[in-house]
Every structure is written in structure tokens, then in C-alpha cells.
Amino acid sequence: MANCLLCNHSLTKKLTISEIIFPGPIREQVVCDDCFQKFNRYSDKDACQGCGRENDGNLCGDCRRWQQQYGWHLSHYPIFHYNQAMREFMQQYKFQGQYHLRAVFQQSLQKVINQMDYDFLVPIPVTNHTMRTRGFNQVTGLIENVQYTELIKHREKQKVAQSKKDRQSRLKTKQPFFLDKDINLRGRKVLLVDDIYTTGRTLYHAAELCYQNGCKRVQSLSLAR
Ligand SMILES: [Zn+2]
Ligand SMILES: [Zn+2]
């Protein structure tokens, strides 16, 4: 019997009514219900059409500024709120490098991704420096159970990690990405994936690159915001 990846308690699987009535492959549980319910999902309704934050359904002030700057805005879908449980998860997964924790949200992401319409699923890359020190890209870890294309690469090593910069300096950074693969994006639809949506700066850089290369539509998804 497997144990919960977060609290290590043993996972005793209770069958749901529908699993009893319609026997079939049972979703493999990697986290216990007590741990999983600490994560708070975004609702589909009443969200900003740009960044997905819960509001009256109109474009929020931040997204209006992106719209002014670029002439378009991203349709971003955050899955979970960046609450205390998510902060602790990210701390362990990303900063303490507990790569086995990538399994915690793979099924949640897969379910959302399967409902979306795209030609290329494109993870946001990490810098070469992060790859050397952390040893993995936390974004590709989250989606390793779906097919994705590592289309975007970091232009150069960044001296200061995104998470250490304040909002102002994050918003000012120059285009850090380039298209790595010789793939024709003309008329295609891209779905960008990142782990956390903070200001949107990173995803807008990536989306701008896709549009400059002829993309018809760019949407994005993050595990948390
Ligand atoms: Zn647990
Ligand atoms: Zn917004």
C-alpha cells in the first residue's frame, strides 16, 4: 500500500459509488484526502478573462495594463490558489529539490490540459544555471505524463532568480527567451505552462515570442497563482 507523498500516512483507497457501479481503471491516488483538500482550486466562474483571478468577470487592472502594452492579453488559467499549503509544496518541490513530489499535481494538470484546445503544449524553461543547481525543470516535471514540446529556451543565464526580484524589476526585464526548435508556429495554437503566475511577466515574454513567430492564439496555464 502506497503512502501519501506529503504526510506519509498510508493511503487507504475508498471506492466511490461510480467506481463500484462502473468498474474501470481507478485513478491512482498519490496524496491523501486530508492533504489534498488543503489546496484551494480556482472556480471557473467569476474570474478575470486575462489572469483568472476571481473578480466580477471583467479584465482586471493588471491585465488592462498588459492589453495596453501589447495590444492583446493572455487568457490565463490558474488551477490552485497560492495559499499556505501551495507555498509549502513549492518550497519542498522546487527549492528543496524533492523531485518525487512532481507526481502530486500531475493528474490535476492533465485533466485541465485534456480539456483545452492547442497544437503545442509548451513549458516555461528554467535557466541553465537553475538546471545545473536544481537538476530539473519544475514545470516539465508537473506535465511529464502529457506530451509537450520544449519550444522555448532561455537566452542567457540570469544573474538574479525571478523569485528574488521585486515586482518593479520583474516587470522591466528584457525578452529572456528564444525559440529553440525549427517548428513553424504560423497559424498554430500554443498553450504555455508555468508553475506559478506572479505578475505575468514571464508568460507575456513567452507569449510575445510565440505571436512574433506567427502563432494564431496563445493561452496559458499555471499550477498556482
Ligand atoms: Zn497526506
Ligand atoms: Zn487579470
Burial of 191 (C-beta count, 10 Å sphere; 0-12/13-18/19+) = buried
**pLDDT tens-digit readout, 72-112:** 999 999 999 999 999 999 999 999 999 999 999 999 999 99
Answer whether 224's CB lies under 8 Å from 196's CB: yes
For residue 114, pLDDT beyond 60 = yes
Which of residues 1 and 140 earns the better pLDDT score? 140
Distance 49 CA to ligand 2 centre (A): 6
Distance 189 CA to ligand 2 centre (A): 21
Confidence of residue 52 (pLDDT cuts 50, 70, 90): very high
Please report which ligand is nearest the Cα atom of 51: 2
d(CA 144, CA 121): 11
Distance 33 CA to ligand 1 centre (A): 7
What are the extents of the domains in the chain? 1-37, 43-224
Nearest to 225 by CA among 78, 44, 116, 95: 78
d(CA 69, CA 71): 6
The three grid cell numbers given for residue 39, joined into one nine-digit string? 489546496
- Say which residues have a Cβ less than 8 Å from residue 36's Cβ, sequence separation at least 6: none
Confidence of residue 176 (pLDDT cuts 50, 70, 90): very high
* Mean pLDDT to the nearest integer, 60-79: 96
Distance 92 CA to ligand 1 centre (A): 14
Distance 37 CA to ligand 1 centre (A): 10
Please report which ligand is nearest the Cα atom of 34: 1
Nearest to 30 by CA among 99, 92, 89, 104: 104
